[in-house]
Amino acid sequence: MNTASKKSVPIHTILIIAITILLLLSHSPSLAEYTKNTIDYQQIISTSITAFEKTFIHPKLRPINYLNLFTQRLRAHPDIKHTTIIQNSITVEFTDGYTLVILDPSLLENSHILSNQCDNQKTNPSANALLLNPFAWVYGTRQCRIIKRILSSNDISTIYVENEKVDLRFIENNLSSEIIYMNTHAGYWEINKSTRNNSVVIATGELWTNTTPSKYHFEYTNNLIVEGVVGKTSYIAFTPALIEQYYNESAFNESFIYMATCHALYDESMASVFLDKDARVYVSWTQDTVFWTNNLASIWTFRLLDLGLPIKNICDLIGSGGFYNWLFDSELAYSGDGEYTFS
């Protein structure tokens, strides 16, 4: 009886096959990487906002708890792992670990498209004051023009920058000035829910795109920036860690810092990094502000500084600045030297 002989596979062939399998496995994307590459974060937020708006008869007629209702809708999405409301900011964490902050939910019904038809006006490059207006295309330039005239009457030269030109690189390299005024959006980010490590974040005029994490890899991986959503549009927002990283301990020597925006003095997280780097005083709103009150308060702050009134008295006089801010329990406040004024 003939028996077919069995050929043994050479050991070197087995080794080659095993190594090949290991190499293939080592180069295959993990589940987290695959998920991250397939989640369209901005699309999820945008479609959630659109669907949420359709539940109201009129976009202005919303229940008082509409933020909670909207957050519940977000939590129901299969790609969203966790959401947190801190004041009026909503931190959204996706299943792949990516996070973003919805900075201004009060603008849910507004879908803005960034206008490229804007001229960046600059004056003397050795200016003593920096006026930044990244949302000039929404809120206009009147307040900045009036502030510039007030500063000019005190022989203070200015640089004015608006819209998308107030980008991340500008923020990283150009904030050393005697007076810094920035009219923008801000919110409050839950960086780590387990440690309750939260901070104020402030929007630049630069759009957040799918390439932002790779373009600004260092800033992104070290929590110097976060995606901030305003309406249905995403912008790069910077955290206190960015100021800590890019400015030395005397960068803001005796500077007056005015963040004309919501929540930038909700706590001391942003103010403290400016003050630690030698700024004299930091001014902003403690909670929400409506844009017309924000603009008027900005103008009156500089007018009263021009008259020699200390900033502590100016904040007391302005207070909430108007009925809507009073409803928000928001006040213009300062951190640092309350005696500051124009000498």
- pLDDT, residue 121, reads 37
pLDDT tens for each residue of 41-70: 888 888 888 877 776 655 555 555 677 778
At 301, which helix (H) or strand (E)? helix 291-306
User: Nearest CA to 289 among 265, 256, 309, 311?
Assistant: 265
Query: CB-side exposure of 301: number of CA atoms within 13 Å?
Result: 33
Residues 153-172: tens digit of each pLDDT? 999 999 999 999 999 999 99
Q: Which residue has the higher pLDDT, 7 or 162?
A: 162
Q: How far apart are CA 6 and CA 2, in angstroms?
A: 12
Query: Quick check: 114 and 233 in contact, CB under 8 A?
Result: yes
> What is the per-residue pLDDT across 110-165, written as a single tens digit (0 to 9) for each?
433 233 333 333 333 456 999 999 999 988 899 999 999 999 999 999 999 999 99
User: Residue 90 has what pLDDT?
Assistant: 85
What pLDDT is stored for residue 63 in this prediction?
57
pLDDT classification of 109: cutoffs 50, 70, 90: very low
- The band of 334, judged by pLDDT with boundaries at 50, 70 and 90, is very high
Would the pLDDT of 191 be above 80? no
Question: Is pLDDT larger for residue 144 or for residue 231?
Answer: 144
Which two three-digit tokens encode residue 90? 């909503």
* Lowest model confidence (mean pLDDT) among 145-149, 189-193, 221-225: 189-193
Confidence at residue 66, expressed as pLDDT on a 0 to 100 scale: 72
User: Tokens for 326?
Assistant: 């009073």
Q: Which band of pLDDT confidence, cut at 50, 70 and 90, is reported for residue 292?
A: confident
Average pLDDT score, the chain: 80
State residue 34's pLDDT score. 39
**Percentage of the chain exceeding pLDDT 90:** 42
Per-residue pLDDT at 287: 82
What whole-number distance in Å separates Cα of residue 177 and Cα of residue 251? 8
Share of the chain above pLDDT 70, in %: 74
58-67, 279-288, 324-333: which is most confident: 279-288
Alpha helices in 154-286 (DSSP H): 168-173, 212-215, 217-221, 240-246, 269-276
